[in-house]
Amino acid sequence: MRAVTVESFGGPEVLEIAETVVPEPAARQVRIKVAAAALNPVDAGVRSGVFGGAGKRLGLGWDVSGTVDAVGVATGWSVGDEVVALAYGADKSFGTHADYVVVDTDAVAKAPASADAVHAATLPLNALTASQALDLLALEPGQSLLVTGAAGAVGGYAVQLAAHRGISVTAVAREADEALVRSLGAARVVSGAVEPRSVDAVLDAALLGEAALEWVRDGGVFSGVIPGAQPASVRGVRTDAVEVSPDGARLAELVALVDEGVLTLRVAETYALDEAAKAHARLAEGGLRGRLVLVP
């Protein structure tokens, strides 16, 4: 099978399409024939060496949609099931940017009935990140949340999920994205200055750090999206950062919200697997409103 890998770090030019044997699932694992796999900033981080791994051959890709084509024992899944999954980890030999991927059964959920495989591939990593970040914030209906990077993938899901929970959402986004983030459920949109100490919580998907922390009221809560990179606590504000984890049960809940029309799946462009370097170059250009998706 083909798999996108890196053995030396750098720009898109270091990506390789490796030929390797098709992996076999062990107990409580399934093999998925990949139909589509989203490209995320974390993949660019792996490629450029942000997460280390020098001297190893590293596989790329965390999101997958496709069809179960082999199962280990005690999986609960059957060959032919259409699924989505999160293949967690920056230090893995092969990821979802491949013809096949093996994942643990508890990372898998039934694919959305209302979406094609390309759109479904944009759900696992970013929606789980947004959902688990909201868990850290532990807001009640009626409380206020400010989301930075609200037009992005994680931020967009966070806006929708928070609004669905009855939380009042202020979105930080460019003026050109105001209509988009309002359509996602933001009650208020700001593109510049935010009143200090004006919200109960901040979900900082844009990595603004201490600047965004200033917008949280005394005793409020802040969540970043890079573990360990959150600012230090001030004024009694609890600061934390989400580290996404595979969770098939939660992913199934998110799939249900897609089918109910609560969550919007956004695809910017698609590329063939062999065009992974072009996709990485496009990602580096920025300005995307939706995910790039690789299709084997």
The residue extents of the domains of the chain are 2-122+265-295, 126-241
The tokens for 289 are 């409103």
Q: What is the mean pLDDT of the chain?
A: 96
Q: What is the pLDDT of residue 7?
A: 94
What are the pLDDT digits (tens) for 167-222? Answer: 999 999 999 999 999 999 999 999 878 889 999 999 999 999 999 999 999 999 99
Q: What is the pLDDT of residue 266?
A: 98
Query: The CATH number of 126-241 is which of 3.40.50.11540, 3.40.50.1970, 3.40.50.720, 3.30.70.2970?
Result: 3.40.50.720
DSSP H/E element including 213: helix 210-213
* Residue % of the chain over a pLDDT of 90: 95
pTM: 0.96
Q: What is the pLDDT of residue 211?
A: 94
Q: What is the pLDDT of residue 4?
A: 98
Cβ contacts of residue 112 below 8 Å, gap of 6+? 84, 119, 120, 123, 255, 258, 259, 265
Query: What Å distances lie between residue 167 and 18, 138, 194, 210, 257, CA to CA?
Result: 46, 11, 18, 23, 17
Q: What is the pLDDT of residue 75?
A: 86
CA distance 24 to 70: 8
Q: How far is CA 36 from the centre of its chain?
A: 15
Residue 275 confidence (pLDDT) above 90: yes
DSSP H/E element including 68: strand 63-71
Q: For residue 74, name the pLDDT band (cuts at 50, 70, 90).
A: confident
User: How many CB atoms sit inside 10 A of residue 186's CB?
Assistant: 29
Q: What is the pLDDT of residue 100?
A: 98
Q: What is the pLDDT of residue 186?
A: 97
What are the pLDDT digits (tens) for 251-267? Answer: 999 999 999 999 999 99
CA distance 184 to 168: 12
Residue 98 confidence (pLDDT) above 90: yes
Residue 239 confidence (pLDDT) above 90: yes
* 2-122+265-295 classified as CATH 3.90.180.10: yes
For the residues 221-242, what does the mean pLDDT come to?
Answer: 95
Residue 39 confidence (pLDDT) above 80: yes
Q: What is the pLDDT of residue 193?
A: 80
For the residues 64-87, what does the mean pLDDT come to?
Answer: 96
Residue with tokens 């994680």: 154
What are the pLDDT digits (tens) for 103-135? Answer: 999 999 999 999 999 999 999 999 999 999 999
Pick the residue with more confidence: 95 or 53? 95
